[in-house]
């Protein structure tokens, strides 16, 4: 029970005669009787008001699987079966970590005939994993408006926050309509896939010189060429670094969460392009390995593997991860490494490990740039503190560019994009490689 503003005003008005008790002592008795009557009316008002748990029913409509970093709709439907019209304030209890677009609290006037009314709002999860919606709290005044009934209606419900599933749905819709340019994705004509080594045979006039196997030629004393067979389905392996550098936040989300969203989008596009998709997540150890497979089933497996994966405060062991990959998977693939390049030392660690797989696989390194650092580096400082911030930002950018440059010189394709462009840039790169049979 909660006392209302109306009751407070009535109590205050009842106290006014006390100012004149010195002149009319009987007013003290009158004020006492007034307050007793007011208290009795308040109790009667409370008892006459319907019990919330009996009078009201609520249903919350929210997906069991929410999308990370996207606005997910929530709707609350309420009914009043008390037989009396009620003006009820509802307060939903979403996970406190979620950002709200629209209030989770609303006041509705409910008819007495059990007709449904609803209110809605949107939530934006800032992290992946398991979360819990709480109960729904209600409040409404009695018929006299002296007190308010308070109630708590059972509505606890667990939800899971996954990588951004809404983006894949949007991609599929725009792809059907031929409007992928709205996502920043360019159209690419696929030439029919790449090719995989099948066997060796003697050279015949007309064979391409680049297909001559010089080692086999030296051994056999005659020209030997490699014979390839067309392969429409290429292997795409997503390597996700989950070490400490991926904990760094960019625009209120950890870098790992952005690359997980991007990795899922690439997996979806690759599966739609009839490619096989696989996953390895690692830091100091290999945490997940899913060999490339065709169809939507591996995409769902990737989603389930990544929805609650968080970066850990450990150093990533690239050599161990690449050695593990070289042992577990021997088929030619496009390896997409999602990591972070803080300085030349970090790129040196990657370069030290790349030779383990570069003879068999093509490697793309994908990193998330921070727009705030770029803005700070390009800013016009107003004071000494901002001068220092600009100098630090410029140094960070310079070291990052050096790291990327080192990778590029070694033949590792690199993509360094801000969060809003990361998915489109990577998918465009993938489609370009596929169209040129470079996978």
Classified as helix, coil or strand, 303 is helix
Place of tokens 């991609």: 171
Q: Do 394 and 279 belong together in one domain?
A: yes
* Residue 143 to residue 233: CA distance in whole angstroms: 71
Q: Tell me, what DSSP letter sits at residue 410?
A: T
Tally of structural domains, the chain: 4
Reported as a single tens digit per residue, the pLDDT across 162-208 is 887 666 666 665 555 555 666 666 655 444 444 555 567 788 777 77
Report whether 405 contacts 414 (CB < 8 A): no
Q: Do 309 and 378 belong together in one domain?
A: yes
Q: Do 312 and 422 belong together in one domain?
A: yes
- Mean pLDDT, residues 147-171 taken together: 84
- pLDDT number for residue 192: 42
* Residue 30 to residue 32: CA distance in whole angstroms: 5
Could you say which of 231, 259, 285 is where a domain stops? 231
Q: Do 209 and 237 belong together in one domain?
A: no
End-to-end CA distance of the chain: 68
- pLDDT number for residue 183: 62
% of the chain at pLDDT higher than 90? 37
Average pLDDT, the chain: 86
CA distances from 107 to 86, 89, 141, 296 (A): 10, 4, 12, 44
Sign for the CA dihedral angle at 198, 204, 208, 212 comes to positive
* Residue 27 to residue 409: CA distance in whole angstroms: 96
Reported as a single tens digit per residue, the pLDDT across 265-280 is 899 889 888 899 999 9
Q: Do 425 and 398 belong together in one domain?
A: yes
* Residue 439 to residue 435: CA distance in whole angstroms: 9
CATH number, domain at 118?
2.60.40.10
pTM (two decimals): 0.69
* Residue 166 to residue 66: CA distance in whole angstroms: 9
Report whether 244 contacts 312 (CB < 8 A): yes
CA distances from 382 to 378, 386, 387, 388, 396 (A): 13, 6, 8, 11, 21
* HSE-up (13 A, CA, CB side) for residue 417: 20
Total number of residues shown for the chain: 439
Q: Determine the structural domain holding residue 221 and report its residue range.
A: 195-231
CA distances from 261 to 166, 257, 308 (A): 10, 6, 13
């Amino acid at each position: 029970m909660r006392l209302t503003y109306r009751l407070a005003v009535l109590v205050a008005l009842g106290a006014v005669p006390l100012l004149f008790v010195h002149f009319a002592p009987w007013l003290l008795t009158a004020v006492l009787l007034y307050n007793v009557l007011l208290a009795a009316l308040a109790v009667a008002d409370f008892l006459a008001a319907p019990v919330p748990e009996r009078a009201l029913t609520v249903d919350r409509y929210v997906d069991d699987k929410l999308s990370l970093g996207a606005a997910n709709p929530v709707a609350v439907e309420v009914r009043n079966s008390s037989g009396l019209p009620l003006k009820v304030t509802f307060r939903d209890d979403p996970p406190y970590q979620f950002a709200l677009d629209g209030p989770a609290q609303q006041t509705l006037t409910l008819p007495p005939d059990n007709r449904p009314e609803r209110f809605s709002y949107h939530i934006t999860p800032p992290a992946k994993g398991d979360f819990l919606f709480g109960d729904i709290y209600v409040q409404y005044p009695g018929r006299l408006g002296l007190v308010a009934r308070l109630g708590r209606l059972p509505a606890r419900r667990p939800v899971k926050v996954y990588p951004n599933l809404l983006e894949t749905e949007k991609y599929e819709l725009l792809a059907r309509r031929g409007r992928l340019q709205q996502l920043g994705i360019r159209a690419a004509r696929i030439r029919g896939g790449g090719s995989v080594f099948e066997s060796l045979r003697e050279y015949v006039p007309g064979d391409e010189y680049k297909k001559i196997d010089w080692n086999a030629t030296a051994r056999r004393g005659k020209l030997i060429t490699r014979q390839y067979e067309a392969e429409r389905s290429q292997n795409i392996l997503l390597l996700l670094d989950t070490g400490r550098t991926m904990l760094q936040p960019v625009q209120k989300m950890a870098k790992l969460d952005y690359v997980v969203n991007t990795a899922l989008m690439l997996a979806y596009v690759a599966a739609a392009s009839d490619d096989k998709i696989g996953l390895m997540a690692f830091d100091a150890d290999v945490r997940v390995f899913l060999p490339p497979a065709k169809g939507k089933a591996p995409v769902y497996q990737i989603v389930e593997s990544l929805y609650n994966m968080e970066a850990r405060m450990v150093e990533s062991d690239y050599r161990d991860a690449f050695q593990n990959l070289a042992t577990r998977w021997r088929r030619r693939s496009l390896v997409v490494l999602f990591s972070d390049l803080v300085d030349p030392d970090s790129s040196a660690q990657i370069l030290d490990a790349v030779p383990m797989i570069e003879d068999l696989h093509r490697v793309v390194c994908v990193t998330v740039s921070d727009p705030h650092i770029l803005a700070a580096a390009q800013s016009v400082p107003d004071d000494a503190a901002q001068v220092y911030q600009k100098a630090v930002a410029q140094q960070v950018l310079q070291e990052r560019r050096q790291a990327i440059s080192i990778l590029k010189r070694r033949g590792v394709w690199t993509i360094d994009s801000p969060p809003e462009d990361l998915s489109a840039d990577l998918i465009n790169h993938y489609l370009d490689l596929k169209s040129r049979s470079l996978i």
